[in-house]
């Protein structure tokens, strides 16, 4: 018996990916209907938001019709069959331009797909189009505006992906994070952002800024959707030397299960707490109170305070190496911020760089101990506050740096709200490799907060 969708058919664009995929599989809706609804939604809202840098509605519909034909043929279909996904414009796509937010890459169409784009296609997803990134996924903003308030930044660097999911243009989108580029825009736009463990998802044929710090990021409006997307993306790829052969993780199944015992959270303020604004502090105070004995405040070991400097050393040095040709050939068409970063990076010594790298493993060991002793997840802000006013900056990534440096899985959940109705993100962080369990813990927390309301 066909289960009725939770939203009316005229509002197909509001469907979660999980619901939409199920309905397409069962024949309740077609991919063409879903993609049409999403394109209508884009036509209606994107003039104000400008989440897309490349969108060809006819091509998206052609993909959808092909997906519908495949399903009709009775051949096996993937977990995301017929579901549209937005892809940040730093992921290579063989059939669409990939310009990385820089005039230096204008008109570039790669010869092949990024591994994760190929994995999306293999799972049956529709590559809806390319979403706006900041310049080379660094700080200089693109054109995108925050769907909650067009005078505010959507955050960066995955600006378009976060805004497109928030505005219900697509249920899923891909981004990236080298400092705070997934968690921060997810928090500012009020969606769920997920940065999996370093090395879980391949970065082959994705703009390379920093092998040590680059992560693929995931955007969705439900935790189940994050799980289904993570399951489609995760896996070993010979072309990304930081991925490893490992058994397939049933993300969706683990995320859907109840924790065997209620989780315990470690509330970690981090040395950045003084940057958190009043509303964030108040929101966290309330959240902590409501969690009662399920949460304890934990002080970080002193060495953690140096991470922001180590992260900067690595990011400067690795970006200077990776963007050396772009700098040499086209620095006049780079933002002042990016030029300054590359020039700093060129001055980093190999010894300082190695020292900064060498602290990652022992820091993870300290965190692993902390988790093993008692905690299921760290609870910490995703950003200093809601999206700031103005479009000249994409905001402060300081609450993400530590977890990116360590390569730990991090999730931003839109659980708090400012007085004027803007979303404030709550960040959950787990031990390396604990991605699926982190999603399960997040579902428990989201349900707990919902029942309080």
Residues in the site for a second copy, rule: CB under 8 A?
A: 241, 317-318, 320-321, 324, 345-355, 358, 361
Catalytic residue among 31, 157, 176, 210: 157
End-to-end CA distance of the chain: 33
Give alpha helix (H) positions in 15-154: 17-26, 31-49, 57-72, 115-122
CB closer to a second copy out of 62 and 321: 321
Residues contacting residue 397 through CB under 8 Å, at least 6 positions apart: 179, 180, 181, 183, 184, 383
Question: Cβ 131 to a second copy, closest distance in Å?
Answer: 29
Question: Cβ 165 to a second copy, closest distance in Å?
Answer: 34
CB closer to a second copy out of 160 and 345: 345
In the block, tokens 């020292």 appear at 355
CB closer to a second copy out of 268 and 317: 317
CB closer to a second copy out of 348 and 438: 348
Distance CA 141, CA 159 (A): 8
What's the CA dihedral at 366, 368, 371, 372 to 10 degrees?
-110
Question: Cβ 93 to a second copy, closest distance in Å?
Answer: 24
Is-catalytic flag, 181? yes
Distance CA 422, CA 437 (A): 29
Judge contact between 190 and 414, C-beta under 8 A: yes
Question: Cβ 366 to a second copy, closest distance in Å?
Answer: 16
Q: How many CB atoms lie within 10 A of CB 376?
A: 24
Is-catalytic flag, 157? yes
Cα–chain center distance at 406: 16
CB closer to a second copy out of 46 and 318: 318
CA atoms within 13 A on the CB side of 280: 25
Question: Cβ 342 to a second copy, closest distance in Å?
Answer: 9
Catalytic residue among 16, 31, 159, 181: 181
CB closer to a second copy out of 61 and 321: 321
Distance CA 211, CA 324 (A): 15
In the block, tokens 């190929």 appear at 118
Judge contact between 162 and 195, C-beta under 8 A: no
CB closer to a second copy out of 164 and 320: 320
Judge contact between 191 and 401, C-beta under 8 A: no
Question: Cβ 361 to a second copy, closest distance in Å?
Answer: 7
Catalytic residue among 16, 88, 130, 158: 88
Instruction: For the chain, give the number of residues.
Output: 453
Judge contact between 189 and 147, C-beta under 8 A: yes
Is-catalytic flag, 210? no
Q: Which helix (H) or strand (E) holds 255?
A: helix 251-256
Question: Cβ 205 to a second copy, closest distance in Å?
Answer: 15
- Six token digits for residue 199: 């090395």
Residues taking part in catalysis: 88, 157, 181
């Amino acid at each position: 018996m066909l289960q009725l969708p939770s939203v009316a058919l005229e509002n197909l664009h509001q469907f979660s990916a999980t619901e939409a995929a199920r309905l397409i599989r069962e024949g309740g809706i077609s991919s063409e209907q879903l993609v049409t609804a999403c394109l209508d939604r884009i036509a209606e809202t994107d003039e104000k938001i400008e989440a897309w840098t490349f969108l060809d509605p006819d091509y998206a519909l052609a993909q959808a019709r092909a997906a519908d034909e495949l399903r009709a043929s009775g051949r096996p279909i993937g977990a995301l069959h017929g579901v549209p996904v937005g892809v940040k414009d730093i992921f290579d796509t063989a059939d669409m331009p990939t310009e990385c937010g820089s005039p230096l890459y204008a008109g570039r169409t790669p010869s092949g797909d990024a591994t994760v784009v190929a994995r999306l296609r293999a799972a049956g997803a529709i590559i809806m189009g390319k979403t706006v990134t900041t310049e080379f996924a660094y700080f200089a903003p693109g054109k995108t505006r925050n769907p909650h308030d067009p005078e505010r930044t959507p955050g960066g660097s995955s600006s378009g992906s976060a805004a497109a999911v928030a505005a219900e243009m697509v249920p899923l989108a891909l981004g990236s994070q080298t400092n705070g580029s997934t968690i921060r825009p997810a928090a500012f736009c009020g969606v769920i952002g997920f940065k999996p463990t370093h090395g879980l998802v391949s970065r082959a044929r994705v703009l390379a800024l920093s092998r040590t710090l680059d992560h693929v990021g995931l955007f969705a409006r439900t935790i189940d959707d994050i799980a289904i997307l993570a399951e489609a993306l995760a896996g070993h790829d010979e072309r990304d030397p930081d991925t490893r052969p490992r058994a397939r993780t049933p993300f969706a199944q683990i995320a859907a299960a109840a924790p065997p015992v209620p989780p315990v959270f470690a509330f970690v303020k981090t040395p950045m707490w003084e940057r958190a604004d009043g509303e964030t502090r108040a929101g966290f105070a309330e959240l902590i109170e409501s969690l009662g004995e399920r949460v304890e405040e934990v002080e970080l070991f002193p060495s953690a305070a140096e991470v922001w400097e180590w992260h900067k050393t690595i990011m400067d040095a690795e970006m200077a190496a990776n963007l050396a040709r772009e700098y040499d050939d086209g620095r006049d068409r780079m933002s002042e911020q990016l030029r300054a970063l590359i020039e700093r990076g060129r001055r980093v010594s190999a010894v300082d760089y190695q020292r900064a790298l060498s602290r990652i493993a022992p820091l993870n060991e300290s965190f692993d101990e902390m988790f093993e002793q008692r905690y299921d997840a760290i609870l910490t802000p995703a950003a200093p506050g809601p999206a700031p006013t103005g479009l000249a900056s994409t905001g402060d990534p300081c609450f993400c740096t530590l977890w990116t440096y360590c390569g730990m899985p991090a999730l931003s959940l839109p659980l708090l709200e400012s007085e004027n109705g803007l979303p404030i993100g709550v960040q959950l962080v787990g031990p390396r490799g604990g991605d699926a369990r982190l999603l399960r813990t997040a579902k428990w927390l989201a349900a707990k907060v919902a029942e309080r309301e």
